[in-house]
Structure 1
Amino acid sequence: MSAQPSNNAAPDLINIEVDGKPTQIRKGAMIIEAADAIGVAIPRFCYHRKLPIAANCRMCLVDVEMGGKLMPKPQPACATPVAEGMKVMTRSDKALKFQKDVMEFLLINHPLDCPICDQGGECELQDVALGYGRSVSRFTERKRTVADENIGPLVATEMTRCIQCTRCVRFTSEIAGTHELGGMNRGENLQIGTYIGKTVETELSGNIIDVCPVGALTNKPFQFKARAWELIAKPSIGYHDALGSNLWLHTRRGEVLRTVPRDNETINECWLSDRDRYSHQGLYAADRIGTPEVKRNGQWQVTTWEDALQFAGEALKKAPGSELGILVHPASSNEEGDLLMRLARGLGSAHVDHRLRQLDFADNAAAASFALPVADVDQVKAALLVGSDLRHEMPLLNHRLHQAVKKGAKVYTVNPASFDFNYGLAGESIAAPQALVDALLALARAAVAAGTSAPAALADAINGVHSDQGDSDAIAALKSGSAVVILGEAAVTHPQASWLRAIARFIADATGASYNELPVGANAVGLARLGVLPGNGGLDAQAMLAQPRKSYVLYGVEPPHDFADGSAALEALRGAEQVVAFSAYASAALREVADVILPIGLLPEIDATLVNVDGLAQGVSAGAKAPGQTRPGWKVLRALGGAIQLAGFEFDDLAGLRDGISERAAAPRSGLATRAAVSDLTRLATWPIYRGDAVLRRATALNAHPLNRAPAVRLNATEARRLGLADIAQVHLGDVVLPLVIDVAVPDGSAWIEAAQDLTATLPPYGAAITLSKA
């Protein structure tokens, strides 16, 4: 006996019947949503639950009865709202005839490419054609063909297969916010493309592969590598930002061949950033190291694990603990971070840090989980971004904010450059790095003018600036309802980050907004919770370089690219007596400074736990095979700790390790950095979206993408003329020669030079005074 709906339905629920099954569905829902909710399958191509309704494929036509009368024509289930008492027949003779007729029309021009199409075996058109298509086509005319368009290194096109569902068009306009694809011409001449033959540059472009129901858009790096049924899907998470996007690793014989999103509505919904989708190419770079190596008499030698661990243990014992610095990559797992702290305690060192890009430690700040959960960001009414290129720092958080803007939210920014947002800004304040604090103080002044008392530590600074109407508007918007203040990477890594943090917190408190600070590193929140930070009297990451130690442990760190001050890092490491490196790669710079390299697995290859921005600990199991004799980092650390007979390394397996992990978060301080004198020209250093870590820097398709810009010095035209460089193609910065690019996004007094490039990694750090000259 089937369950009957209540006659006393809630005001926002409607009673309908689908194929004889009664159900309740929210008012305003479409028939197809009601059918999906009760497991009734209606064929569709253009409909996607996350995209606006188009109703242009007509595959979902169904019979609808209202008030005892059958509608004269079938209705598209995706575009027909439910109504009280409605009866829907998805399998009636008339509905099936229309669905089969539409299927026949769609197949008229579709090529018989299934044996060579990458979509074969997981194609929606194949699946629906099997149930609704004819065995033999009645069409005898010539099929139409469409010229392909090169839309970049990430997505391959075969547009003859396109059925004009427009999912990709709606994705780029409504989700990516870039309007890069569209339909041209009419009728059977309709074509989907960019019109002007340009690369699709959105940082979410790979998602058009997932929404495409046919093989018109496919994964270019994966092209012709394997058939869908040859792949094994392993659940994993993204490790290039702290969102922790859920994903599937598709592997064959232990090798990751592609990555696709795994649904999680509270984190990444059903989307995946290109950074997480294509980074797996970096796992198989030419300089990936698969065997332990030691440096003897200046020469690198491949050796056994036993010899390498003995060598590393003896090296670490040569200097006292006070002369040992341990530098940890912020994407290292909880398990690795905890063992590194045990290693530090066992060797008597308080000098441990994972905040490699941070310059200001006056407030001893470390990453913390968001006050406003990621899933709620698309509901805010206003947002203030401080020092944040959110599209590149955390693409899918930016997507949430984009959805909020579409609902009417106002976004204001205080940034060191005019970053490229995919939504309109209600207000934008652009200031050179040396003026960024004052620009944010102006907003704080507006908050004080609105009736909030300034904290004593900030009062004089706030009273020393002026605010304008734009500042007042921003404060009013933040006060008007649900709002969030987001501190981004360009603020967290700023040389006066403690000021920006204190002012942003004050603005959030004054307006009732939530305060969210973007972590720098995929597991920065987890490592901060575990206290992978300097102990009592310990030196932070920059102090360890400014006051060089005799011995260093580098864990997952690639000098000089991973440091805020790459030049200082190389200088300190070159002068050290012993450097023990745990690394997946053996770069030339690492080989220069290290004495032993212990090969460790990367996240797709190991069991690990990472904590995301919401404070959610996500555990994953190894999904891919590590090369050669590579071992998980926790196993190498356990073996090293055992070899030098340290306490805390007696566990037998990963479960034993996890049982012993406890949180030891360090307490923040209330200090503020000394305000530096204003310079004529300072460097703005941001980390490019596809150069943020060692794996990304080796992902070939991502590095061929236009968003991965060539290293250059970027000045605005006014600044270039002031410096006498207006007509110059190249400039000198110290010993480095770089192209000069005129860029309206850069404010006066600043030169934008992206970090983590081979040519820029050793230049003066973010906020440093620089001098440019003609090359």
Structure 2
Amino acid sequence: MVRVIVDGTPVEVAAGSSALQACEAAGKEIPRFCYHERLSVAGNCRMCLVEVVRAPKPVASCGFPVSDGMEIRTDTETVRRARRAVMEFLLINHPLDCPICDQGGECDLQDQAYGYGSGISRYHEEKRAVTNKDLGPLVKTVMTRCIQCTRCVRFCTEVAGTPELGGISRGENLEISTYVEKALTSELSGNLIDICPVGALTSKPGAFQARPWEMKKADSIDVTDALGTNTVVQVRGGEVKRIVPRVNDEVNEEWLSDKGRFSVDGLKRRRLDRPWVRVHGKRQAVSWQDAFVAIAKRLEGVPGNRIGAIAGDLCDAESLTALRDLMESLGSANLDCRQDGAAYDLSDRSRYTFASGVTGIDEADALLIIGAAPRHDAPVLNARIRKRYLSLGRGKFPIGVIGPQPSDTTWSYEALGEGPDVLASLYDGSHPFCEALRTAEKPMIILGHGALVREDSLAIQAAVRHIAETTGVVKDGWNGLNILHTAASRVAALDLGFVPGQGGRSMRGMLSSGVDVLWLLGADEFPVGGISPETFVIYQGSHGDAAAARADVILPGAAWTEKDGTYVNTEGRVQQAFRAVFPPGEAREDWRIIRAFSEVIDHRLPFDTAEELRARMARINPVFVGGAPASVSQPPFAGSETIMTDRPFRLSRQSYYLTNPVSRASETMAECARVYSVPAAIAAE
């Protein structure tokens, strides 16, 4: 530690810290534009000037290392004059268009000009104008406002891993550009809007819709992937206007994927806002009571083993619990949350979660990826892999990949093969990459969707576990064997036992042999054409997607922004989302719909409030109150005794932007899918 004196206050900071970090440790506010805690130091805005005793002139504190005994002064007349001069230079060419700028109210330049500027300008010449750049359908540019802080350039290069922005020309002619005009290809491009300190980069879909001070805010969780990114939902006039990230260093740091940020317009399109019942082949809008009665009549005389339920990828834990208990009360063990047909080893919770935790990536020093494409499966988690890749240095973080990868990965890797046949040489220890795992202190394996949805999935998982145990991936004090989920509801459903019970059928079984009544809880990601024409289908969800078109009864539910809900991310972290707006029309929270229906059929569920329901969740699995997780039992998977085949791993051909009913309802995501076509590496069969 190094002892530094800041404005007469002694503080201790780590060796190698900057003067700016020392000042912040002492509680001093230092203005800055180019400096960002998660990016490299540029030192080009000069707004963070401070005075260091015995230094000949003010220094840029962001790039000035501290030394023992250094004395820093942050509020002298010299510092104030220097900051006023810097601000005057920054405003020379900046347009005075704050009233029409979407950054107004959240603009660092606006705030710091008021706090540190002089209030006058001695510059009377014409201002420079810069041509706006077309960066694609998500990020709007007004480049005349740009102050060349280069945050966007460093973010694209260092965090997103897509070095598409840079500076061209010099001096007053310097511009931030893609040089050759093209759309940004990163799945994290929306974060440029957050880190831009002025109004040069703003949201194109959300332009001119609301001011920050007009919006109400609610903490929430991003459900477009399984990472559980912490978000803030911002609402104006009863409509969700914006979703932005919330800082959580253990999950998402301060980043958010483009799908989670920009699919917001899908929340108001294709909505189900009233119950519907099919009568003589045509659907009719009905009351809730009539819809419940129609279901109750169809259930009369149907044995429990002829009733089934499938849960979708966006469900909260409360609705999963309610539907599970309803099916149990009807005598049905036909439950499944795996629309993709994935199989898991449910003998221990660590075997179906990201066992090392997301922050474990920051400690890993070797990585083996099997059947996963982190850039598309979880873009924010992929950014953390890149962060570790850069922090250790090129060649010091060996990454091996089994299975296809997009051609534009953000880290270098060694392609080990396309299919499970590579696992044989890893299994017996003869593969060269085994040495990289053995010599690493904290090696890691990520097993992804492409390996979990195969018929030989459990055989693959058993082989990978053996590899992990023999190479030190799993050892005392470290468990680096991780499952990367893609569905936000999956871990919670597995924790709650929303899988086939004793004698129960999986989704494939329900479709192949047929059930008389099938309850779909937001389940839209499986081929509904496989449902028997004789099956009575109940669809409960928020959007009119493919499954709603097949349904005999439609029960309008709430989207995740319209209810309080519990979600469990891929690492098994239990997180809470809060309601930001009310559901449209007659739509209701999903668990309340199921609870109300249970009374109609005289199978009243034993909870009336959200608190009682969460107590029920905790009794099923103590993990929901921070206790030790309960194991989840299920019958052996049909393929558990099979051996691994040589068939190569395949990744989803579905566009990254169209993976759930909300994003498919979004015009912005449809435009993104058009602009960013499915990469050839993924589309290849």
| 2:315 equivalent in structure 1 | 332
| 1:202 equivalent in structure 2 | 186
| 1:626 equivalent in structure 2 | 583
| Correspondence 1:658 to 2:614 | yes
Report the Cα distance in structure 2 between the residues aligned to 1:684 and 1:369, rounded to whole angstroms: 20
Does the residue aligned with 2:118 lie in a helix, a strand or coil? Answer: coil
| Correspondence 1:570 to 2:519 | no
Alpha-carbon spacing, 1:318–1:38, altered in 2? closer, same or farther (3 Å)? farther
Letter of the 2:577 partner, please give it. V
| 1:10 equivalent in structure 2 | none
* 8 A Cα contact 1:323 1:550, kept in partner: yes
Report the Cα distance in structure 1 between the residues aligned to 2:677 and 2:79, rounded to whole angstroms: 56
Percentage of matched positions with identical amino acids: 38
| Correspondence 1:373 to 2:357 | yes
| Correspondence 1:616 to 2:573 | yes
| 1:22 equivalent in structure 2 | 10
Cα drift, residue 430 of structure 1: 3.6
| 1:251 equivalent in structure 2 | 235
Cα drift, residue 278 of structure 1: 1.2
Cα drift, residue 478 of structure 1: 4.6
Letter of the 1:574 partner, please give it. P
Within the candidate set 425, 432, 452, 1:492 is matched to: 452
* 8 A Cα contact 2:438 2:471, kept in partner: yes
Cα drift, residue 645 of structure 1: 1.3
Within the candidate set 415, 419, 436, 1:428 is matched to: 415
Report the Cα distance in structure 1 between the residues aligned to 2:370 and 2:424, rounded to whole angstroms: 12
| Correspondence 1:522 to 2:480 | no
| Correspondence 1:94 to 2:69 | no
Report the Cα distance in structure 2 between the residues aligned to 1:583 and 1:609, rounded to whole angstroms: 17
Larger mean CA deviation between 214-223 and 235-244 belongs to 235-244
Report the Cα distance in structure 1 between the residues aligned to 2:146 and 2:385, rounded to whole angstroms: 31
Cα drift, residue 119 of structure 1: 0.3
* 8 A Cα contact 2:443 2:472, kept in partner: yes
Does the residue aligned with 1:505 lie in a helix, a strand or coil? Answer: helix
Tell me the alpha carbon deviations over residues 386-413 of structure 1, each in whole angstroms, 9 at most, x when there is no partner: 0011111011111111111111311110
| 1:537 equivalent in structure 2 | 503
Cα drift, residue 629 of structure 1: 1.0
Does the residue aligned with 2:228 lie in a helix, a strand or coil? Answer: coil
Report the Cα distance in structure 2 between the residues aligned to 1:85 and 1:213, rounded to whole angstroms: 33
* 8 A Cα contact 1:685 1:752, kept in partner: no
Cα drift, residue 317 of structure 1: 3.0
Larger mean CA deviation between 400-409 and 112-121 belongs to 400-409
Letter of the 1:572 partner, please give it. I
Does the residue aligned with 2:63 lie in a helix, a strand or coil? Answer: coil
Cα drift, residue 360 of structure 1: 5.3
Cα drift, residue 650 of structure 1: 3.8
Within the candidate set 272, 290, 306, 1:289 is matched to: 272
| 1:696 equivalent in structure 2 | 663
Report the Cα distance in structure 2 between the residues aligned to 1:160 and 1:206, rounded to whole angstroms: 20
Report the Cα distance in structure 2 between the residues aligned to 1:683 and 1:524, rounded to whole angstroms: 20
* 8 A Cα contact 1:490 1:686, kept in partner: no
Letter of the 2:487 partner, please give it. G
**Over aligned residue pairs, what C-alpha RMSD do you find?**
2.2
Tell me the alpha carbon deviations over residues 15-44 of structure 1, each in whole angstroms, 9 at most, x when there is no partner: 111122211111111111122223211111
Report the Cα distance in structure 1 between the residues aligned to 2:225 and 2:160, rounded to whole angstroms: 18
- TM-score, normalised with respect to structure 2: 0.93
Report the Cα distance in structure 2 between the residues aligned to 1:678 and 1:422, rounded to whole angstroms: 28
| 2:476 equivalent in structure 1 | none
Alpha-carbon spacing, 1:682–1:623, altered in 2? closer, same or farther (3 Å)? closer
Report the Cα distance in structure 1 between the residues aligned to 2:363 and 2:549, rounded to whole angstroms: 50
| 1:674 equivalent in structure 2 | 642
Does the residue aligned with 2:110 lie in a helix, a strand or coil? Answer: helix
| Correspondence 1:237 to 2:196 | no
| 1:766 equivalent in structure 2 | none
Larger mean CA deviation between 157-166 and 548-557 belongs to 548-557
Cα drift, residue 474 of structure 1: 4.4
Tell me the alpha carbon deviations over residues 279-319 of structure 1, each in whole angstroms, 9 at most, x when there is no partner: 2221111x211011111111111111111122122223352
| 2:131 equivalent in structure 1 | 147
Tell me the alpha carbon deviations over residues 223-247 of structure 1, each in whole angstroms, 9 at most, x when there is no partner: 0001111111211111122211111
Report the Cα distance in structure 1 between the residues aligned to 2:125 and 2:650, rounded to whole angstroms: 64
Alpha-carbon spacing, 1:688–1:489, altered in 2? closer, same or farther (3 Å)? farther
Report the Cα distance in structure 2 between the residues aligned to 1:420 and 1:442, rounded to whole angstroms: 28
| 1:603 equivalent in structure 2 | 560
Higher relative contact order (Cα pairs below 8 Å, separated by 6+ residues): 2
Larger mean CA deviation between 337-346 and 207-216 belongs to 337-346
Report the Cα distance in structure 1 between the residues aligned to 2:282 and 2:677, rounded to whole angstroms: 34
Does the residue aligned with 2:661 lie in a helix, a strand or coil? Answer: coil
Cα drift, residue 708 of structure 1: 7.0
Cα drift, residue 362 of structure 1: 9.4
Write out aligned runs for 1:183-202 (5 A). Answer: 183-202=167-186
Write out aligned runs for 1:637-652 (5 A). Answer: 637-647=594-604, 649-652=605-608
Does the residue aligned with 1:236 lie in a helix, a strand or coil? Answer: strand
Report the Cα distance in structure 1 between the residues aligned to 2:609 and 2:256, rounded to whole angstroms: 33
| 1:582 equivalent in structure 2 | 540
Letter of the 1:62 partner, please give it. V
Question: Aligned residues, how many?
Answer: 662
Report the Cα distance in structure 2 between the residues aligned to 1:82 and 1:270, rounded to whole angstroms: 27
Report the Cα distance in structure 2 between the residues aligned to 1:22 and 1:326, rounded to whole angstroms: 63
Cα drift, residue 260 of structure 1: 0.9
Report the Cα distance in structure 2 between the residues aligned to 1:54 and 1:417, rounded to whole angstroms: 33
Cα drift, residue 373 of structure 1: 1.2
| 2:624 equivalent in structure 1 | none
Alpha-carbon spacing, 1:359–1:77, altered in 2? closer, same or farther (3 Å)? closer
Report the Cα distance in structure 2 between the residues aligned to 1:517 and 1:236, rounded to whole angstroms: 24
| Correspondence 1:75 to 2:59 | yes
Alpha-carbon spacing, 1:363–1:377, altered in 2? closer, same or farther (3 Å)? closer
* 8 A Cα contact 1:308 1:596, kept in partner: yes
Report the Cα distance in structure 2 between the residues aligned to 1:707 and 1:389, rounded to whole angstroms: 21
Within the candidate set 514, 518, 525, 1:548 is matched to: 514
Letter of the 1:32 partner, please give it. L
5+ long unaligned stretches in structure 2: 474-479, 622-629
| Correspondence 1:414 to 2:402 | yes
| 1:226 equivalent in structure 2 | 210
Write out aligned runs for 1:25-44 (5 A). Answer: 25-44=13-32
Does the residue aligned with 2:135 lie in a helix, a strand or coil? Answer: coil
* 8 A Cα contact 1:330 1:527, kept in partner: no
Report the Cα distance in structure 1 between the residues aligned to 2:195 and 2:651, rounded to whole angstroms: 38
| 2:462 equivalent in structure 1 | 502
Write out aligned runs for 1:263-412 (5 A). Answer: 263-285=247-269, 287-358=270-341, 368-406=352-390, 407=392, 408-412=396-400
Report the Cα distance in structure 2 between the residues aligned to 1:334 and 1:361, rounded to whole angstroms: 19
Does the residue aligned with 2:672 lie in a helix, a strand or coil? Answer: coil
- TM-score, normalised with respect to structure 1: 0.82
Letter of the 1:688 partner, please give it. S
Cα drift, residue 667 of structure 1: 3.0
| 1:735 equivalent in structure 2 | none
Report the Cα distance in structure 2 between the residues aligned to 1:682 and 1:526, rounded to whole angstroms: 26
* 8 A Cα contact 2:346 2:631, kept in partner: no
Letter of the 1:308 partner, please give it. A
| Correspondence 1:752 to 2:660 | no
Alpha-carbon spacing, 1:533–1:420, altered in 2? closer, same or farther (3 Å)? same
* 8 A Cα contact 1:363 1:498, kept in partner: no
Cα drift, residue 486 of structure 1: 0.3
Report the Cα distance in structure 1 between the residues aligned to 2:56 and 2:344, rounded to whole angstroms: 72
Within the candidate set 123, 137, 162, 2:121 is matched to: 137
Does the residue aligned with 2:128 lie in a helix, a strand or coil? Answer: coil
Does the residue aligned with 1:506 lie in a helix, a strand or coil? Answer: helix
| 1:453 equivalent in structure 2 | none
Cα drift, residue 557 of structure 1: 1.1
Tell me the alpha carbon deviations over residues 101-135 of structure 1, each in whole angstroms, 9 at most, x when there is no partner: 00000000000110000001110000000022232
* 8 A Cα contact 1:378 1:402, kept in partner: no
Letter of the 1:652 partner, please give it. D
Does the residue aligned with 2:613 lie in a helix, a strand or coil? Answer: helix
Cα drift, residue 571 of structure 1: 2.8
* 8 A Cα contact 1:417 1:430, kept in partner: no
Report the Cα distance in structure 2 between the residues aligned to 1:284 and 1:386, rounded to whole angstroms: 37
